[in-house]
Structure 1
């Protein structure tokens, strides 16, 4: 992709990426924001953590 720059560590592994603002705006539109939806997920910032907590409520030792 044009304009995307990669930052590498001393071992050649990618440690970061610099993305042009125009591309970031396109990417940002695709990100899932649970706070946009109603119900139990409204206002949740860490959806995966919330889902794990809900799952643990249903796990039973029979």
Structure 2
């Protein structure tokens, strides 16, 4: 890729990569964003509280 630079350690293994800002913006736009996939809990302000309430529904004393 044009403009990408690799940083190697003393054993020749890649330890880091430097990429141009334009390429980073393109890659960053394609990264996974978990908040888009929270389903019915997407709009909840306190997700932890909602999950605790859901768990309480399923706990039973048998």
TM-score range, shorter chain: 0.5 to 0.7
1:20-59 alignment, distance < 5 Å: 20-39=20-39, 42=42
Give the SS at the match of 1:7. Answer: strand
TM-superposed CA distance for 1:38, in Å, is: 3.6
Q: TM-score, normalised by structure 1?
A: 0.58
Gaps of 5+ in 2: 43-62
Q: TM-score, normalised by structure 2?
A: 0.58
Gaps of 5+ in 1: 43-62
Figure out how many residues of one structure are paired with residues of the other and give that number: 42
Give the SS at the match of 2:24. Answer: helix
- Which structure dedicates a bigger proportion of its chain to helix? 2
Larger Cα Rg: Structure 1 or Structure 2?
2
Q: Which residue of 1 aligns with 2:17?
A: 17
Measure the CA separation in 1 of the matches of 2:40 and 2:18. Answer: 35
